[in-house]
A and B are shown apart, each in its own frame.
Chain A
């Protein structure tokens, strides 16, 4: 189901950049190199699991500023930092902002490869999760407004009779709306439906 994953290497030192590309490609990874954060940002975000291997000290936009910039653009790509002179405050900042790993040069190649694998795995998981959510949202949006109203009230624990009273309709009508909605949402049980609605609410809150 997934397209081939890709690693983006951003380092302004040409020999470091080229050696990193060589190392990552030696384990079968697809690699693209960039000499600055700016040139990377000009590229269209990829539609495949990916991660960044990023030098902290870059000409122009620094690695940490770049991390902030990506977050601001809502580009959620995992970052593995490498640095020639990492200090603790700097690594703490990077990790707090969601970096996968903060490696000090010269690092063990296995550490870098492990970090890249974790980063790609995390991106893959995130993408799958996002895909599930998109499906769910599409299913929810296929409901009629009345069906949406009915199940929103039902998941709050209201009885069919109470819902009918509030909407000024018959209890049986409510039952029909409810079973249609269950069917359209592809819910196996009422509990399943409750979980789906919670998930949608959670992502809506996160988005706002």
Chain B
């Protein structure tokens, strides 16, 4: 048992006082240790011994430097030197001990030099507090902060923090790339300087209202807005904002992404799709050319017949005025019929915007079945139509709906060309569905789609050897543009049923 130098007595007999000091030393809640001038331990209480994991006899073989973590030794020795040189009375150090089992423990030591007194050699006295937990917390906190700082510094999006008056507190380096301003140019300025004129008022009132009431005027995640660069150019941005309380103040941090390129790509895709849709229409046109030639030739033939008959009768001076009038009336009516057909074809080819009129969908179905007549005949398709009578009128583009129906019926026909063991049945139905919308269904007894039922609607998906895979994708967007839905389902026992709905024109009488 070590014998620390007894403290000066205040009361009671000296032995009692010494005994008290010894007991206090041993039972202290904080580590206490003493080492001789060479640094070798000669006393240590239980807290200190347990901290390092050494027994008393093991510890007294060691100097304080032996148990100090290598990297901390130099700093420790310097302070010890200052104490020895009399530059200070004591010092405090935060350092790491290496325990017996090799682990490190963070401590804060208060060290003083007890001078030679009454023949007792001078020695080191240290009070040792285990601060490992605090150190770990500090380090974790620092790590998190460092991580966030790194994210913000290296982010490709502009990161901007605002106070409650929408004044810029912080801006990361990427802000310069996005907006053209350096962070220094922005800090302390209102956020509105990064917005075009038309958004400023909106932002100011919206921001004030939010700070006052908590009511948001825009969505805070991924909202598309317009930004203003230092050079005065506007550009599309996507903004996400978050809020936190820092030192009692509300801080708003926003991530602002320049989406010019994305927008450009989107536009390019849209243009490409529109072009493909147009090409696909032309292809459909080619397939229908035979039918349309017949349609146009009928009135032209009638016009020629009637005119030639008139010329012949005229040459024979045998043309009665009433016969002439009747012939001319027929010529006019057939001319009108031919030009109506040509107008339809032109609308079909042109990138004509939707022209919505009130129409009877049954009429459109019948027209398409007539147009497809040749195709049905050639492929020995039996067509059954079940059209609900007195359907309410729809608001729709006749040509577009024809195109959708042509596409669905042609798909149906093509799905059945390989069928030889059962009737090739195409079934077209119109009716009012449960929700009061008009529902049109085209069923075939063909090979069916199996698991592809939904994939058929994606662009470029095709099961046909020479298909473009655009037909159904375009049909679906046309129906959706009409406020309806288009979907596919298996037909029982064979084939597929394509159905689409169209909302009824509210002003149409039932």
Contact = CB atoms under 8 A, between A and B. Distances in A.
Contact of A105 (B301, B306, B327): B301
B299 A15 contact: yes
Given A26-B312, A26-B313, A106-B300, A85 B305 contact: no
A189 B432 CA distance: 86
A129 B38 CA distance: 150
Nearest to A12: B298
Contact of A109 (B294, B308, B334): B308
A25 B304 CA distance: 15
A109 B297 CA distance: 14
A116 to B, nearest CB: 12
Interface string A141-162: 0000000000000000000000
A190 interface: no
A23 B309 contact: yes
Given A84-B297, A106-B301, A109-B304, A19 B309 contact: yes
B163 interface: no
B300 to A, nearest CB: 5
A23 B311 CA distance: 10
Given A62-B377, A85-B290, A22 B327 contact: yes
A105 B313 contact: no
Nearest to B373: A57
Given A22-B306, A26-B312, A16 B290 contact: no
A13 interface: yes
A109 B304 CA distance: 8
A85 B334 contact: no
A181 B330 CA distance: 64
A138 interface: no
Given A85-B290, A106-B304, A27 B330 contact: no
Q: Which size class do B's interface residues fall under?
A: 20 to 34
B170 interface: no
A42 B302 CA distance: 26
- The DSSP consensus for interface residues of chain B is helix
B301 A57 contact: no
A25 B300 CA distance: 19
Interface in A57-82: 57, 62, 82
A13 B298 contact: yes
Interface in B277-334: 290-291, 293-295, 297-306, 308-310, 312-313, 327, 330, 333-334
Nearest to A87: B290
A20 interface: yes
B312 A19 contact: no
Nearest to A16: B302
Contacts of B313: 26
A62 B377 CA distance: 9
B374 interface: yes
Contacts of A16: 298, 301-302, 305
Interface in A1-53: 13, 15-16, 18-20, 22-23, 25-27
Q: Which size class do A's interface residues fall under?
A: 20 to 34
A23 B310 CA distance: 8
B443 to A, nearest CB: 23
A85 B293 contact: yes
Centre residue among B297, B306, B373 by max chain A CB count within 10 A: B297
Centre residue among A25, A85, A107 by max chain B CB count within 10 A: A85
A109 B290 CA distance: 23
A84 B308 contact: no
B294 A23 contact: no
Contacts of B299: 15
B306 A84 contact: no
Contacts of A19: 301-306, 309, 330, 334
Contact of A84 (B298, B312, B327, B333): B298
B297 A15 contact: no
A109 B305 contact: yes
A166 to B, nearest CB: 60
A15 B334 contact: yes
A84 B338 CA distance: 14
A97 B365 CA distance: 36
A105 B303 CA distance: 11
A105 B309 contact: no
Interface in B360-389: 373-374, 377
B298 A105 contact: yes
A22 B295 CA distance: 21
B483 to A, nearest CB: 36
Contacts of A13: 298, 302
B308 A23 contact: yes
Contacts of A25: 309
A84 B330 contact: no
Given A16-B301, A85-B290, 4 more contacts: A18-B302, A19-B330, A85-B294, A109-B305
Interface of B: 290-291, 293-295, 297-306, 308-310, 312-313, 327, 330, 333-334, 337, 373-374, 377
Q: Which 6 residue pairs spanning A and B have beta carbons closest together? A: A84-B294, A19-B305, A109-B308, A26-B309, A105-B297, A84-B297
6 contacts: A13-B298, A16-B298, A16-B301, A18-B330, A85-B294, A109-B304
